[in-house]
Chain A
């Protein structure tokens, strides 16, 4: 793996310097013409990158699938636009999770195999490593929610890696919705565990001088509200960045010298994206569990 990285780096450096040298030579030979040509070339690549990124990452009312463009029914209720490309992909991800979970659940055997076995590995991991250390007694009751959360985010992350696929978790609105669900769960479990007053008391940390209390309350509320915000941005930015990198690298194919390394890098980044998809789903879940755990059992 390391050797592969070094070779890739060398190819890039050599290829890049060759391109620069060529352009320099072109500039020296016929400055005016070359400059014009270069600018046009750069603009072409830049436009292509923007176009590719927009196509891949920006939400819209059109879905492209197997070369066909599907126009989504615009559902506009007042100022709220409901069904968009990312929303459809988000539904597809959840539908896949539903199918997988139901298919695994239909297995009626004491010794699980295949899909059921794979899911049980995930279930036991989430339950024992993520939920129980944070939620203690409530872990088993909240397990289904966290399983749905994890699998839906994971599937959605992965769908972006398919041809024509789109990562709905690369949309700020989707991640914001999920983070708001986390916020709701945090408040709900906090109130359920400690009562409304007990929950509100968490914003007044003990052992703080009275004159400092107003400031601390503001700080605590800010930190409480920043958590879902951070969740939103973390998942969104990771998914966006991964796909942006792949798109940019693939767009570099137009330069013959970069064609081979750009495909190699794209493959590498795609593999990395699979890992990132798993890690980000895990992080979203464990942070939600930690936040809910903090609301239920205040950190004194």
Chain B
């Protein structure tokens, strides 16, 4: 068994190697690599898709956020305006109410005054009449005679008038 045999080329061996390798490589490719590669590709695709979806969603959410922030700022501004307006109108209403109530109270006081005056006038007249009546009654009792009360009343009123 010569060691030089290591370097000898056997065409049959070479051809056999080529044939077996090509056949087995094809078989391995068909039954081994193909499912692995398709699985790998599916995973890569799904990862790529997920990443793209995530990016799109992130963009959309940031856009939404911007929109919401703008809407929020708008709403705040509007609320501030509304409050401002309400305060102004409340002030106006208050002012009107104040002047109206002032006027009303003044009128009421005025009316009360005139009523008091009228009442006191009528009371005075009533009092006068009552006094005259009393006086007549007293005088008739004094005189012990029936006097025409009307006549007396007149006399007394005259006297009172003179007295005044």
Contacts and interface: CB of A to CB of B under 8 A. Distances in A.
A124 interface: yes
A90 B22 CA distance: 13
Interface stretch (B33-41, B55-63, B94-102): B33-41
B29 A171 contact: no
B123 interface: no
Consensus secondary structure, chain B interface: helix
Interface string B39-53: 110110010000000
A86 to B, nearest CB: 7
A173 interface: yes
Contacts of A172: 6-9
Interface residues of A, number: 55
Interface string B1-34: 1110111111111111110111011011101111
A214 to B, nearest CB: 30
Interface of B: 1-3, 5-18, 20-22, 24-25, 27-29, 31-37, 39-40, 42-43, 46
Given A107-B39, A120-B36, A123-B33, 20 more contacts: A58-B1, A58-B3, A59-B13, A60-B1, A80-B12, A80-B15, A90-B20, A91-B20, A94-B20, A98-B24, A98-B31, A104-B36, A105-B34, A105-B35, A145-B25, A145-B29, A147-B28, A148-B21, A181-B18, A181-B22
27 contacts: A53-B3, A58-B1, A58-B5, A59-B5, A80-B10, A80-B15, A83-B16, A90-B21, A91-B20, A105-B36, A105-B39, A110-B39, A120-B40, A123-B36, A124-B40, A144-B33, A147-B33, A148-B33, A152-B21, A152-B24, A152-B25, A172-B9, A173-B14, A173-B17, A176-B17, A177-B16, A178-B17
- List of 8 A-B pairs having minimum Cβ-Cβ separation, nearest first: A101-B32, A80-B12, A177-B17, A173-B13, A144-B29, A148-B25, A105-B35, A94-B24
